Amino acid sequence: MKTDTKIYDFVIIGSGIGGLVSALILAKNNYSVCVLEKNQQLGGALQTFSRNKRIFDTGVHYIGGLDKGENLYQLFNYLELLDELKLKRLDDAYDVIRLANGKILKIGQGYDNYRNLLLNDFPEEKEAIDQFIHKIQETCTYFPLYNIQLEAEKAYYSYPEILAVSTAEFIDSITSNNDLKAAFLGNGLLYAYDKARTPLYVVALILNSYIKGSYRIENGGSQLTKALVKKIRHYKGDLFKRKEVIGTSTAADGKITTVKCADGTVYSAHNFISNLHPSKTMEVIGEKHFMPATIHRVGALKNTIASFVVNIALKEDEIPYSNHNFYDFFTDDAWNTVDYNMESWPHLLFSCTPPSSKSTQFADSFSSMTYLKVDEFERWKSTQNTIVHPKSRGDEYMAFKEFLEQKMVSRIIERFPELEDKIECVYSSSPLTFRDYLGNKEGEMYGIEKDFNNPIKTIINPKTKIPNLYLTGQNIIFHGILGATIGAFVTSFNFVDSNRIINSIKSL
C-alpha cells in the first residue's frame, strides 16, 4: 500500500470551486495544502466535457460580479486569477426573458441599463421598479463580505430579520403586474426560486451580482479550474485526481489524522476541509464520529431541485453566437416552475450558446437547462456511472432520458425554430449524472435550500464537531461561483486573520 508520508497542514476533500479557492487562500498564506478529487477531472461544477469536438460546461454558464472593482473581481484579483482568465462580457441586455404570452423582456447589466430596460417594457410601473431596485440594493448592504467588508452599518448578523423576508410577499406588495413579476424573477433558475421558501436576500445577492458585471468564461468553466490549479501549484500546493476519500483515522483527542482513499493511499494532515455536501461529508468521514441528531438534522434539510441539461452540437457556421442568455417560460406564473407536472414539463428553459474558440461569430453548440426532480429517477438511484467508475444504468434509464431529451428539444425548437435542421447531435445530463460527478446528495443544483420561514435551520457553520474538520462549498454561505468563493474565504478565516485578508484585498 502506497502511503504519502508527508503531513500537510491541510487536506481538502473535493476540488469544486470552494475546495480550490480554500486551497489557494491557504497556500498563498504559507500553509501546505493537498486537494483530493475523486473524479478524472478537477473542478466540481466547473468541469467541462467534450463531445464531437465541442466543449460543454456542466454547471457554469455565466458569472456575475466581475466588472472592475466589483466583489468577485476583487476576490479573483486577490487570488491572482484575473490575468489567467479569458472573460467575455455579455451584452448590456445580458438576459432575455420570453414569457408564455409572447412578451419579450430584457434584463440589463449596470443598474442604469437594468432600470431603463424595465421602464421600456413597463413604463407604467416606474414606482414598483424603483422600489424593487432600492430593496435589492439595500438588502445587499446587509452582507458585509459580499461587499468585501467584515462589518456593515446594518449587517445580517446584527439584524437577522433580513433573512426572514419572503421574496413573493415583497414582490406582491409592490406590484400586481404578473409580467413585471416575471421580469423580477425571470432569471430565477440561477437559484431555483420557490414561492413558499425563497428569501428576498437570495434574489438580491444573485441579481445584484449579475447586474454588476455578467461574463462568460471563454472555453468553459474549466478555464477557471486551470487558473486556480496553476496558482495552487505556484504556491506549492498538491492536487491529486482519482482519489476518492472513503474513510478516516482519528486520534484519541477526536482529531482526524489521516484520510484513506479508495485506491488504498492515505493522506495525513493537521486539518481537513471538506468541499462535499455536509451529509456526504459525514458519510465519508464516518457517521460514527457525529451525533445521530446532527446526521438526522442535516439529512432532513431540503436540497434545491435538480436539473436536466441538454447539450446540442450544432452544424458549423450556421447559428450565430448570442452574447446573452435566454429564459423561456411556458407557464403564465413565473413561480410555477419548480413544481411542474410531467405532462407540461419543462415549464422553463435556460438556454445559451457557449462561446467557441473557433469562431466569434458562430456558435458550435447550444446548451439548455431546466428543473427536474431527482425523484423521477427513483428506480435508478442506486446506480453509479462516471468515467472513473463507468457502469451503465440500463436500457430503461436510457429510454427515459431520451424521452426527456425529446421533450426538451421540442420545447427548444418552439422558441428557437432556427435550430431545427442545424442539430448535429444531442447529449443530456440527468440529476444522477450531476450527482455522480459532483458528489452532491441528489443532483441538487444549489445545495441546501434557503428558507425565509426558518433561516436558522439552513445555516451551516464551517466548523464541525470534529476539532480539525471544516466545511466549505456552496452549502456553508451561498452557492454559485461568487457564493462558494466567499464561502472559501469564510472557511479560511478559521486559520488566517480575516482583518488582514480583507485589508489586503481592498488595498489591491
**Which residue number, 413 or 459, has a Cβ lying nearer to another protein?**
459
Minimum distance from CB of 439 to another protein (Å)?
23
Binding mask 120-159 for another protein (x = CB under 8 A): ------------------------xx----xx-----xxx
Q: Which helix or strand (DSSP H or E) is residue 284 part of?
A: helix 278-285
**Which residue number, 52 or 498, has a Cβ lying nearer to another protein?**
498
Residue 30 burial by Cβ neighbours in a 10 Å radius (0-12, 13-18, 19+)? exposed
Work out whether 342 is an interface residue with another protein (CB under 8 A).
no
Q: Which of residues 462-481 bind another protein (CB under 8 A)?
A: 462-463, 476-477
Work out whether 163 is an interface residue with another protein (CB under 8 A).
yes
The CA distance from 441 to 234, in Å, is 33
Residue 451 burial by Cβ neighbours in a 10 Å radius (0-12, 13-18, 19+)? buried
Radius of gyration of the chain (CA): 22
Minimum distance from CB of 494 to another protein (Å)?
8
Beta bridge partners of 168: none
Minimum distance from CB of 94 to another protein (Å)?
28
Q: How many CB atoms lie within 10 A of CB 333?
A: 14
Q: Which residues contact 256 (CB under 8 A, 6 or more apart)?
A: 248, 249, 250, 269, 272, 285, 466, 468, 469
Sole binder of another protein in the list 18, 455, 473, 480 (CB under 8 A) = 455
Work out whether 493 is an interface residue with another protein (CB under 8 A).
yes
Minimum distance from CB of 352 to another protein (Å)?
32
Minimum distance from CB of 492 to another protein (Å)?
9
Cell of 235: 504556491
Minimum distance from CB of 278 to another protein (Å)?
14
Q: Which of residues 348-407 bind another protein (CB under 8 A)?
A: none
**Which residue number, 349 or 490, has a Cβ lying nearer to another protein?**
490
Cell of 346: 419543462
- Residues, the chain: 508
* Segment interacting with another protein (CB under 8 A) among 167-175, 204-212, 356-364, 457-465: 457-465
Cell numbers 440589463 label which residue?
108
Instruction: Tell me the C-alpha to C-alpha distance, in Å, between residue 399 and each of 51, 128, 406, 427, 430.
Output: 20, 47, 11, 13, 12
Give the phi and the psi of residue 5 in degrees, each rounded to 5.
Answer: -85, -10
Sole binder of another protein in the list 51, 459, 467, 505 (CB under 8 A) = 459
**Which residue number, 129 or 476, has a Cβ lying nearer to another protein?**
476
| Under 8 Å between Cβ of 420 and 315 | no
| Under 8 Å between Cβ of 287 and 483 | no
Sole binder of another protein in the list 160, 247, 254, 299 (CB under 8 A) = 160
In the complex, the residues that contact another protein under the rule CB under 8 A are 144-145, 150-151, 157-161, 163-164, 455-456, 459, 461-463, 476-477, 490, 493-494, 497-499
